Amino acid sequence: MQTQCLASSLYGHATINVLLSSTKGGARKKEKKEEQQELKFRKKSIVEHLAPPFMAAVLTLSSPVIFDQPALASEGARLFQKACIGCHDTGGNILQPGATLFKEDLERNGVNTEEEIYNVTYYGKRRMPGYGEKCSPKGQCTFGPRLQDDEIKMLAEFVKSQAESGWPKVESYED
């Protein structure tokens, strides 16, 4: 109050009103800033509290194959031994020597991507029977059990990986 009286005597009432309104505006700015900080804290707090359950849900509901590449490779190896090793042991081809699963032969035969390997495995090509569930014509398809799409995809990934690394020894997997 003394400051106001001193200001009043020196500058007049208009100055006091300006001083008071600027003080109120400063208080409002301070309150607004505190509200923004509180809101940031709440948002951060919500994220911090929801992150662990969210990640737990993602990990629980996701396929373990996504997170475990060695498991994917071993599943591919298991499928290879189950369906392919009879003709393609160590990446070779006992029926058609120029159609091995080595990188050079795959490239020369136009089967050098996972998608192309998938298509040949699904529908067959020349002497190789198709293993896909909807393979046709029937004469081009295996008489044995068919493979599901995701199994053929794993096989294609496995074959591509093995071809890239020169067909190292494939581990044995029992069913």
In contact, 113 and 160? CB cutoff 8 Å? yes
If one counts the domains in the chain, the total is 2
- Among residues 61, 78, 100, the one where a domain terminates is 61
Q: For residue 159, tell me if it sits in a domain.
A: yes
Task: Please check whether residues 78 and 153 belong to one and the same domain.
Answer: yes
Entry pTM: 0.57
The tens place of each residue's pLDDT in the chain, 175 residues long, gives 444 444 444 444 444 444 444 555 667 888 888 888 777 766 666 656 566 666 666 656 655 444 445 565 689 999 999 999 999 999 999 998 899 999 999 999 999 899 999 999 999 998 899 999 999 888 899 988 899 999 999 999 999 999 999 998 766 555 4
Q: For residue 173, tell me if it sits in a domain.
A: no
